[in-house]
Amino acid sequence: MPSMPKRVYIAYTGGTIGMINAGDGYAPATGYLEQRLRAMPELRDAAMPEIILHEYTPLLDSSNMTPREWLAIARDIFENYDAFDGFCILHGTDTMAYTASALPFLLQGLNKPVILTGSQIPLVELRNDARENLTTALLLAANYAIPEVCLYFGDKLLRGCRAVKVNAQGFDAFDSPNYPPLATVGVEIQVRWNLIRAASEKILRAPPKALNATVASLRLFPGISAEFLRNVLQPPLQGLVLETFGTGNAPNHDQAFLDALAEATARGVVIVDCTQCLRGAVKLNAYATGAALLDVGVVSGADMTPIAALTKLHYLIGRGHSADETRAWMQQDLYGELTM
């Protein structure tokens, strides 16, 4: 008996890949991507999976994405989970790393590939990166049992909650500075199975209905004032990713600055220290300037990206965890977002 073709669900949220030139720049166009896909002969090749395209309404430039859309994507995957072998999310590049970082927390019990991709140049243009990114992402989602949320772009498959956008114009737009690519694509697709997380023993859980959290990110700079920091930390803020210098350092000669942090942590604001550096990890005991943060209740984000730390805070606080519980979970690896 011939084997049944693999089935891949495409969640088309918007982004450059399906845009047209509307006269004042690229913009999403309802129905256009489906027309382009029908015209691509490679998608009719016997090696390709059967695809079902779900076009979101409205289509969004990813700069307009919010946590509400993260939840909508997670619910879409959950509702279609049993009918497909894998999932491909077409997404704009500007905030793709945020969605790729949030989804692992929202898809607990995931045992199928969920791969985000997009392009720097839309399919409408003769020369583009959209065609290769799309076809390879579909092949990966259909044929490789990678039970993770991943991001595929420019010949690299990255763990979603480790990815960051590093290039605004080049085809190598994303990287995973603190974790190697899960797969590289050249003449052959080479998957590094030793880096892949083990399949979950649990079934996929329904995503939460809402994420009611108020969190933010603040990048330190030389001369930042205590008054500015205190204003950022005002209620209703519940969590803050503090992007610090080097291995997690901040000014320790400004007592008012440290007092602002101490006051916020005392009233339950969870402050997570992530380095501004592209590579490396926070080590709060390495320097006095880092230890000062530890003393006022700031917790280490280790080698998490600031993006992953922000989405993790959204999830933990949004699910109703207390400040102490959130601080503890922020320092534990849940879905490959940090190195223990």
Q: Domain boundary at 135, 160, 195, which? A: 195
Within this chain, do residues 146 and 76 fall inside the same structural domain, yes or no? Answer: yes
Number of separate domains in the chain? 2
Within this chain, do residues 181 and 83 fall inside the same structural domain, yes or no? Answer: yes
Looking at 16, 247, 265, 275, which residue is catalytic? 16
- Note whether residue 133 is domain-resident: yes
d(CA 201, CA 147): 11
Q: Domain boundary at 135, 165, 195, which? A: 195
Encoding tokens for residue 299?
Answer: 């917790």
Within this chain, do residues 154 and 220 fall inside the same structural domain, yes or no? Answer: no
Within this chain, do residues 62 and 184 fall inside the same structural domain, yes or no? Answer: yes
DSSP 8-state symbol, 185: E
> Residue 2 — pLDDT band, cuts 50, 70, 90?
low
Residue-wise pLDDT for 183-223, tens only, equals 999 999 999 999 999 998 889 999 999 989 999 999 999 99
- Note whether residue 280 is domain-resident: yes
Query: Do the bridges between strand 156-159 and strand 149-153 make them parallel or antiparallel, or are there none, so unpaired?
Result: antiparallel
What does the pLDDT read at residue 25? 83
Within this chain, do residues 293 and 189 fall inside the same structural domain, yes or no? Answer: no
d(CA 256, CA 44): 64
d(CA 154, CA 133): 7
d(CA 50, CA 36): 16
Q: Which 3 state secondary structure label does DSSP give 282?
A: coil
Residue 101, burial from CB neighbour count under 10 angstroms (0-12, 13-18, 19+): buried
- Give the mean model confidence (pLDDT) for residues 147-167: 97
Residue 227, burial from CB neighbour count under 10 angstroms (0-12, 13-18, 19+): exposed
- Is residue 1's pLDDT more than 70? no
Residue-wise pLDDT for 237-267, tens only, equals 999 999 999 999 999 999 999 999 999 999 9
Q: Domain boundary at 195, 226, 247, which? A: 195
* pTM attached to this predicted model: 0.96
- Note whether residue 108 is domain-resident: yes
What does the pLDDT read at residue 200? 86
Residue-wise pLDDT for 297-323, tens only, equals 999 999 999 999 999 999 999 999 999
d(CA 207, CA 110): 11
Rounded to the nearest 10 degrees, the angle between the axes of helix 96-106 and helix 67-80 is: 50
Within this chain, do residues 288 and 172 fall inside the same structural domain, yes or no? Answer: no
Q: Would you say how long the chain is, in residues?
A: 340
Within this chain, do residues 69 and 143 fall inside the same structural domain, yes or no? Answer: yes
- Note whether residue 152 is domain-resident: yes
Within this chain, do residues 176 and 238 fall inside the same structural domain, yes or no? Answer: no
Domain holding 325, by residue range, is 215-330
DSSP 8-state symbol, 46: T
Determine contact, residues 215/313, Cβ cutoff 8 Å. Answer: yes
What DSSP assignment string belongs to 205-271? PPPPS-----EEEEE--TT--HHHHHHHT-TT--EEEEEEBTTTB--SS-HHHHHHHHHHHHTT-EE
| Domain of residue 165, CATH code | 3.40.50.1170
d(CA 164, CA 305): 8
- Note whether residue 109 is domain-resident: yes
d(CA 189, CA 147): 17
Task: Quickly tell me which residue has 């083990």 as its tokens.
Answer: 198
- Note whether residue 225 is domain-resident: yes
> Residue 4 — pLDDT band, cuts 50, 70, 90?
confident
- Note whether residue 111 is domain-resident: yes
Within this chain, do residues 52 and 89 fall inside the same structural domain, yes or no? Answer: yes
Q: Which 3 state secondary structure label does DSSP give 60?
A: strand
Within this chain, do residues 138 and 75 fall inside the same structural domain, yes or no? Answer: yes
d(CA 314, CA 321): 11
Determine contact, residues 216/309, Cβ cutoff 8 Å. Answer: no
| Domain of residue 296, CATH code | 3.40.50.40
Q: How many CB atoms are located within 10 Å of the residue 177 CB?
A: 14
- Is residue 135's pLDDT more than 80? yes
Residue 147, burial from CB neighbour count under 10 angstroms (0-12, 13-18, 19+): middle
16 catalytically annotated: yes
**Phi, psi (deg, nearest 5) at residue 147:** -85, 55
Encoding tokens for residue 288?
Answer: 């006095």
Within this chain, do residues 191 and 49 fall inside the same structural domain, yes or no? Answer: yes
